[in-house]
Amino acid sequence: MTAVDPRPAATTSYPTPLPDATAVVSPSVRDVVKAYVGLTKPRIIELLLITTVPVMFLAAGGVPGLEVVVATLIGGILASGSANTINCVLDRDIDEQMRRTRRRPLPRHAVSPRSATVFGVVLGVLATLELGFFVNWLSSGLALAANLFYVFGYTMLLKRRTVQNIVWGGIAGCFPTLIGWTAVTGKLAWTPLVLFLVVFFWTPPHTWALAMRYREDYASVDVPMLPVVATPVATARQIMAYSVLMVVTSIALWPVASTGFVYPLAAFVLGFVFLREARRLLLRAHTGADGAALRPMRLFHFSNIYLALLFIAAAIDPLLH
């Protein structure tokens, strides 16, 4: 008789495989869309549109046609998105090192540089054609000139080479005043040129205040923003000087455009508050404050409010005048 082993038969067992930590998870459609939208820098687009639509009201002497406003907005969004996307591609090396920008789509590798470049170029072509066919070719040409200057003039030539980078590079951000006016009238005039200068003088205080807060970021990537190469006192003095020029220019629109009482009242009040904030920044710099102690973001945040309210006043004024 064959002996029977009372022990249970041995079975071969294999460990349950653990999930591969290196496995690539495909991004959702929502994530992809969010990444491409992020490339366009929506917050910057908002500021540009704030200086476009109110000028259209001023140009029309009232409410402009809905069709031209919508067409101009679409073209402006496409054009700004194009320039900002190409800027992200060209600046991806420094964006990856800076705290303020390291979460952008390209540093996170959410979009490839090639795909972002194609996206930016396509947006630029669409903007040029859309503005040309649905608004007019003068506005289209101005938008294209602004994009080319932002990419080649500011991003590629000025930004990493000169302390005057944002002064002259900021010209690209002034073009919406001209685009909004020409979209309605089909021609240039002194009124949009004055507003062009308002934005031109507004840009340095706005940007340098932000750069004071993130001075170490710019210094770490060798971008010669004024706060990197100058003392806080010298920077605050420059901010004060440009703020004065901005306020004086904003008030000059009153006689040039023959506005009513709403716009000059807003220009005086907003200008006073802006100069007060710039002076406080200068006083803090004179006390030896540095970095966050300077509280430069107070001026930065108010500069956004200033520009929005000033241009809204310019839009409201012809409705009441």
With a threshold of 0.85, does the pTM exceed it? yes
| Dist CA 28 CA 220 (whole Å) | 34
Count of Cβ atoms closer than 10 Å to residue 61 Cβ: 11
pLDDT given at position 10: 46
| Dist CA 270 CA 154 (whole Å) | 29
Residue 154 is given by DSSP the state I
Q: For 257-310, how does the pLDDT look when each residue is reduced to its tens digit (9 = 90+)?
A: 999 999 999 999 999 999 999 999 999 999 988 878 899 999 999 999 999 999
Residue 104 is given by DSSP the state S
On whether the CB atoms of residues 181 and 314 are closer than 8 A, the answer is no
pLDDT given at position 17: 52
Nearest CA to 257 among 117, 108, 54?
Answer: 54
pLDDT given at position 25: 58
Q: Which CATH class is domain 35-186?
A: mainly alpha
Q: Which CATH class is domain 189-320?
A: mainly alpha
| Dist CA 38 CA 223 (whole Å) | 23
pLDDT given at position 4: 43
Q: Which residues of the chain have pLDDT under 70?
A: 1-25
Residue 291 is given by DSSP the state G
Q: Which residues contact 241 (CB under 8 A, 6 or more apart)?
A: none
On whether the CB atoms of residues 215 and 305 are closer than 8 A, the answer is no
| Dist CA 167 CA 158 (whole Å) | 10
Residue 102 Cα distances to 41, 69, 108, 216, 291, angstroms: 14, 35, 7, 14, 20
| Dist CA 158 CA 203 (whole Å) | 15
Instruction: Tell me how many degrees the CA angle 136-142-144 measures, rounded to the nearest 5.
Output: 100
Burial class of 18 by CB neighbour count within 10 A (0 to 12, 13 to 18, 19+): exposed
pLDDT given at position 81: 96
pLDDT given at position 3: 44
Q: Which residue ranges make up each domain of the chain?
A: 35-186, 189-320
Count of Cβ atoms closer than 10 Å to residue 110 Cβ: 18
| Dist CA 71 CA 24 (whole Å) | 41
pLDDT given at position 24: 52
Q: For 220-255, how does the pLDDT look when each residue is reduced to its tens digit (9 = 90+)?
A: 999 999 999 999 999 999 999 999 999 999 999 999
Buried-state track 113-143, b at ≥16 Cβ within 10 A, e below 16:
eebbbebbeebbebbbebbbebbbebbbebb
On whether the CB atoms of residues 198 and 246 are closer than 8 A, the answer is yes
Burial class of 66 by CB neighbour count within 10 A (0 to 12, 13 to 18, 19+): exposed
Tokens representing 131?
């503005």
pLDDT given at position 2: 42
